[in-house]
Structure 1
Amino acid sequence: MTPLMTPQQVKTESETQDITLPPGAPKAKKRWLLRTGEFIILLILAVLVLETFFKFAGIGEQEFLQPDKQLGSKHIPGKLVTWRMEGYSHDKLSSSGLRDSEHQISKSPGVRRIALLGDSSTEGMQVPLNETYGKVVERLLNEGGQKYEVINFACSGYSTGQQLLQYERDVRQYHPDIVLLLYNRGDSVENIFTPGPTVLSQPRPYFYLDANNQLQMDPSVLEACSSKLKPHPFWDYLKENSRIYGVISATGLVLSINEHNYRKWMGWLTNLTNAFVKNDRPSTWTVPYAKQNPDNVTEALLTRINKEITADGGKFALIIFPNVVQDPDLQRQQSLFELLAHRQNFAFLDLTRPFFDADFHSYFLEYHFSSRGHAFVAQQLEPLIEKLSARHDLDATQNGEAPVNQQDRRN
């Protein structure tokens, strides 16, 4: 008779093998691979669940800039942007990367085109797209019976120099009749090279006046960051599609603005990385030209912009951001650029006085225009645009051309 086995004596075949196999045998390796596979699958599921949650919650969708070899940065075409850092908006960038609705490059007869240049104040991420001053002034102008099309080319962080290059590369092909540039405080400093850690972290083209007082571009920073400005499929995909990436990026931005220790730590990490990673050029270098005056360089840039727009048959107007904080540098430039406008015969509008005459506190969120502020700016721009339109038609008549409002319109 076969003796009965106690429960403690009953062992499965696999358990017997576990006892008899030495450590590091194939069975242990299989178990490690199985656990690794389970971890990867769970990680993928967790990422998908979190991405789905963020999508429905509208979180992590504030990433909207990508590198550009010529301008330093530009909008991501077609990107859905949910902005909460100051104000709120939930809109999609156009297929050509404009903070605007879709616009054809070709201009229809009978339509007067207005192009807007500027930085984040004109871009208007802080309010819904239809409440930006570009959209509001377009509606106001079209109430008069004529057909106006306002196209917003503004991009966060752009200097006057970047706006010049943007006009030459992107805006000119749209053949605008009028170009409005909203100048903001700090734009002049961004036009010239200033040594410091932000030079490589925020690459852009810089400008200077040579020994003959001629405007020249300094591409050295763009060249130093050429590898950084090249397309990187993996990171570009995350920036365009991953909301988790967007949350991490937004957290880093907020910390860099508000936390001194975080900035110090990131600076240390950047220096450590630069010590081991080969850059195209060193982080500090000397430039082959004299120290520049930002006001003089900005004057030269505005003069060039006006000349190019005039040569293309358009009208140029410089708009000054309302100096409600009475910044001394902007106060100086207000007078300086107004004199330049008279000398170069382009339109000039300083928004400071109209804002002071109104209850301007409700026209701002923190640093940017509120919806009421955008509407107020549009009201100030409407008569200026109508005046420039009349002047543009007069020039066309004198040149033997039909004014815009008399051109045949397509059905």
Structure 2
Amino acid sequence: MVQFKPWQQNLLLVCFGIFSGLVVFEIALRLVNFSYPKFYIANDVRGRVHRPGAEGWWRSEGEAYIKINRDGLRDIDRQQTKPQNTFRIALLGDSFAAAFQVPQAKTFAAILENKLSQCPKFEGKNVEVINFGVSGYGTAQQLLTLRTSVWSYSPDLVLLTLLTGNDIRNNSKSLEPDKVRPFFVYEADRLVPDFSFRNDPMFQLNQSKEYLRLGHLIARVVDSIGTRKQIKEDLATQAKTLREPGMDEAIYLEPTTPEWQEAWQITEDLLKLIDREIQEKNAEFWVVTLSNSPQVHPNPAIRQQYRQRWGIQDLFYPDRRIKKIGDRAGFPVLNLAPLFQKYADRNRTFFHGFKNTALGIGHWNETGHALAGETMAKRLCAEFEPNAAQNAF
């Protein structure tokens, strides 16, 4: 029998006491149903997806109670088999589409669904806008979402929302810092998926589906501290300069480096590939470019300072370029940013930002979502009812 020295016995007792305390604390957290919601799980095709059934408060930017439905969508529950007399739109996008910052009913997806239901074209029909948006997604992940998840819902129209501020970069393996995601790369001038992220240790760590509630508590404390620090040190500067983490000034300039030239080419080819696959399913394809905060800040002087600082001639360069891609390929593109800028100048309205962060930066607030949803609905309704086109905006 092993004989422990007194100091070893004391150390074992201390370790046992700490372990026992943690176990009791974990049990207590589970009994009171404490959780800091884990909204994402790893996925070996798309990198990460929403965790079905996850729910909880989102307060780091804006405030909303988030519910992920049984199919992993930030949406109400939908049946996959399309009901009769129903027009379905599948919405692809990133965090602007997922819209954790605002309540479900205030998202542009919900507003679009409601407004389209009032369109004469759909009188007597049910309209559904099913939200497949996931934070951080680029066009590559949206194509993979289309292939793996969308078609089981039999949509009539696929609406892809594109955030020029980072979606172009997201599509480039050489430019995108987050490598735990799928990319598309060229092999003999043909785009093929690259799933090498599956070998990344961070992805393998994220595959764990079971986690301690104590970990929730630690994550909440760390996140809270980080958020307060960011608000204190960074947000005021970001609002003044319109520089945001994760957004690219290079997107407003004609690309001169091989990396940015390839990023644009990949994006164009991905959009064409999505369009082709949608046509094969006899559905329609639309692209909507969203707004970046420097494009639609309601103070023209701040926008001008931003342009001068980065040598930008045209804040709408990326939007116009996506529009030209659509014109060449034959799919419609709606550019929201120019419309938002006119509205902001006329009404001195902030579309980006929240009281608990800063106005003028970040994601769309309720005002931004409302104008986006209404504008998309008017444009789509006008497309279906040509005589209404003159009143579209």
State the TM-score, normalized to the length of structure 2. Answer: 0.73
The answer as to 2:192 corresponding to 1:209 is no
Q: Secondary structure at the match of 2:380?
A: helix
* Alignment partner of 1:166 is 2:145: yes
Report the CA distance shift for 1:227/1:321 in structure 2 as closer, same or farther (over 3 A).
closer
Q: Which residue of 2 aligns with 1:130?
A: 105
Matched, 1:333 2:318: yes
User: In structure 1, which of residues 240, 243, 260 is the aligned counterpart of residue 216 of structure 2?
Assistant: 243
How far the C-alpha of 1:168 sits from its partner, in A, is 0.6
For structure 1, the residue ranges without an aligned partner over 5 or more in a row are: 1-22, 261-289, 392-411
Question: 1:120-174 CA distances to partner (integer Å, 9 max, x unpaired)?
Answer: 0111000011111111111122234331011000000001011001101111211
Deviation per residue, 1:184-239 (Å, 9 max, x gap): 1211111111178x344xx111123344x32222333x243278347754xx2227
CA drift at 1:47: 3.8
Q: Give the match for residue 65 of structure 1.
A: 40
Whole-angstrom distance in 2 between the partners of 1:67 and 1:241? 21
| Counterpart residue type for residue 322 of structure 2 | F
1:178–1:390 Cα change, 3 Å: farther
Q: Structure 1 residue 70: deviation in Å?
A: 0.9
Would you say the 8 A contact 2:47–2:203 is kept in 1? no
Distance (Å, rounded) in 1 between the aligned partners of 2:223 and 2:146: 30
Q: 1:383 to 1:246 in 2, by over 3 A?
A: same
Q: Decide whether aligned partners of structure 1 residues 186 and 91 sit closer, same or farther in structure 2, where only a CA change above 3 A counts.
A: closer
Partner residue in 1 for 2:93: 118
Deviations, residues 25-73 of structure 1 (Å, cap 9, x unaligned): 89x96x8877665544433333445567783xxx733x31221111111
RMSD: 3.4
Once the two structures are superposed, the pairs formed by residues 69-218 of structure 1 within 5 Å of their partners are 69-144=44-119, 145=123, 146-184=125-163, 185-194=165-174, 198-200=177-179, 203-211=180-188, 213-218=189-194
Q: Identity over the aligned pairs, expressed in percent? A: 26
Query: Contact 1:181–1:318 (CA<8 Å) still a contact in 2?
Result: yes
Q: What is the CA-CA distance between 1:91 and the residue it aligns to?
A: 2.3
Q: Distance in 1 between matches of 2:5 and 2:93?
A: 67
CA contact (8 A) 2:87 2:155 kept: yes
Counterpart Cα distance in 2 of 1:77 and 1:386: 33
> Alignment length, in residue pairs?
327
Larger radius of gyration between Structure 1 and Structure 2: 1
Residues 113 and 149 of structure 1 are in contact (CA less than 8 Å); yes or no, is this contact kept in structure 2?
yes
Structure 1 residues 357 and 77: alpha-carbon distance in aligned structure 2, compared to 1, 3 A threshold:
same
Runs (4+) of structure 1 exceeding 6 A deviation are: 31-35, 51-54, 255-260
Q: Is the 8 A contact 1:60 1:245 kept in 2?
A: no
**How far has the Cα of 1:112 moved from its partner?**
0.3
Q: What SS is found at the alignment partner of 1:310?
A: helix
Shift, 1:387, TM fit: 4.3
Q: CA deviation at 1:100?
A: 0.6
Match of 1:308 among 250, 254, 277: 277
- The separation in 2 between residues aligned to 1:304 and 1:259, in whole angstroms, is 44
Contact residue 69 and residue 75 of structure 2 kept, 8 A? yes
Amino acid in the other structure paired with 1:217: P
SS in 2 for 1:106: coil
Post-superposition offset of 1:323: 4.2
1:364 aligns with 2:352: yes
Which among 352, 360, 378 is matched to residue 383 of structure 1? 378
- 1:46 corresponds, among 25, 33, 38, to 25
SS at match of 2:172: coil
Task: Judge conservation of contact 1:69–1:230 (CA < 8 Å) in 2.
Answer: no
- 2:239 equivalent in structure 1: none
Distance 1:43 1:49, change over 3 A: same
Q: Please report how far the alpha carbon of residue 87 of structure 1 lies from its aligned counterpart in structure 2 after TM superposition.
A: 0.2
Paired AA for residue 193 in structure 1: K
Structure 2: gaps (5+ residues): 234-257, 296-306, 354-360, 387-393
Letter of the 2:61 partner, please give it.
E
Deviations 1:329-356 (A, max 9, x none): 9733222221121122211100012211
Q: Which amino acid aligns with 2:153?
A: Y
Partner of 2:331: 346
Task: Write out per-residue CA displacement over residues 310-330 of structure 1, whole angstroms, 9 at most, x where no aligned residue.
Answer: 111111111111245148597
Q: Deviations over 1:268-287 (max 9, x none)?
A: xxxxxxxxxxxxxxxxxxxx
Q: 1:199 to 1:242 in 2, by over 3 A?
A: closer
Distance (Å, rounded) in 2 between the aligned partners of 1:153 and 1:339: 25
**Residues 49 and 241 from structure 1, CA distance in 2 versus in 1: closer, same or farther, beyond 3 angstroms?**
closer
Going from structure 1 to structure 2, the CA distance change for 1:249 and 1:224 (only over 3 Å counts) comes to farther
TM-aligned CA distance change 1:363 to 1:306, over 3 Å: same
Check whether the contact 1:238–1:245 (CA below 8 A) recurs between aligned residues: no
Report if the CA contact (8 A) 1:123-1:153 is conserved: yes
